[in-house]
């Protein structure tokens, strides 16, 4: 693995043409963006944290973070390390009493954990060279996409057709229509004013 580039989560979006979910990572030092297809549950988990929403009961990522904390384990960093056969691969680095353990993981799970723990999000430079976009996705003139990171707004999707050109998180991952409807309901809930009775403690679906 070569040089690693630090990224932040720019937004989670629903692409209207395909009803698929995309997390957009942004280079912290330059205008460079990395879009990654993710599943609806993972998208919901990331978006909830970005909005500061809390589920009534711990979601899987919340439970995992709490379990690690109880065991004295810290998430040091996540690394999106490879893009092979149109599929992203990621590594999760855990630290316990000075020992670092490296685990294979999906990028979406890694990002969901990172936004909960302020862990660094790193991407291999060779991955960015293969798949990064050099312009803000807002500047495209394609179909609009809802933005989970900013209530009440819609943004333009990336100029390229996501269905053809954005690499998948994993091969053979099916999209279930019922889950998409649940996520749409969740996105719609983000348009409510802060402090409304329905905005806090609501689970996606």
DSSP result, the chain = ---EEEEEEEEEEEETTTTEEEEEEEESSSS-EEEEEE-HHHHHHHHHHHHT---SS--HHHHHHHHHHHTT-EEEEEEEEEEETTEEEEEEEEEETTEEEEEEE-HHHHHHHHHHHT-EEEEEHHHHHHH-BSS-GGG--S-EEEETTSTT-EEEPPSS-HHHHSPBSSTT----HHHHHHHHHHHHHTTSPTT-TTTTT----
Choose the weakest-confidence range: 22-26, 37-41, 48-52, 164-168: 164-168
Residue-level pLDDT at 1: 67
CB 12 within 8 A of CB 22: yes
Least Cα distance to 93 among 106, 75, 111 occurs for 75
pLDDT digits (tens, 9 = 90+) for 113-145: 999 999 999 999 999 999 998 866 555 434 334
Instruction: Note the pTM of the prediction, 2 decimals.
Output: 0.69
Task: Tell me the fold of 4-170+182-189.
Answer: Bifunctional nuclease domain (3.10.690)
CA–CA distance from 102 to each of 26, 78, 81, 95 (Å)?
A: 24, 9, 12, 9
pLDDT digits (tens, 9 = 90+) for 70-113: 999 999 999 999 999 889 999 999 999 999 999 999 999 999 99
């Amino acid at each position: 693995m070569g040089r690693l580039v630090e990224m932040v989560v720019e937004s989670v979006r629903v692409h209207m043409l395909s009803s698929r979910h995309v997390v957009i990572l942004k280079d912290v030092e330059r205008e460079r963006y990395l879009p990654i297809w993710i599943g609806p549950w993972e998208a919901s988990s990331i978006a909830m944290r970005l909005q500061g929403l809390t589920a009534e009961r711990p979601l899987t990522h919340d439970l995992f973070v709490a379990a690690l904390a109880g065991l004295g384990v810290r998430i040091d960093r996540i690394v999106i390390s490879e893009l092979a056969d149109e599929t992203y691969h990621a590594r999760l680095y855990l630290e316990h009493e000075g020992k670092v353990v490296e685990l294979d993981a999906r990028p979406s799970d890694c990002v969901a954990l990172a936004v909960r723990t302020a862990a660094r999000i790193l991407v291999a430079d060779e991955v960015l060279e293969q798949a990064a976009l050099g312009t803000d996705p807002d500047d495209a003139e394609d179909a609009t996409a809802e933005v989970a990171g900013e209530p009440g707004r819609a943004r333009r999707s990336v100029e390229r057709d996501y269905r053809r050109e954005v690499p998948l998180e994993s091969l053979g991952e099916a999209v279930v229509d019922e889950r998409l409807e649940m996520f749409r309901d969740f996105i719609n809930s983000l348009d409510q004013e802060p402090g409304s009775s329905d905005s806090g403690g609501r689970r996606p679906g």
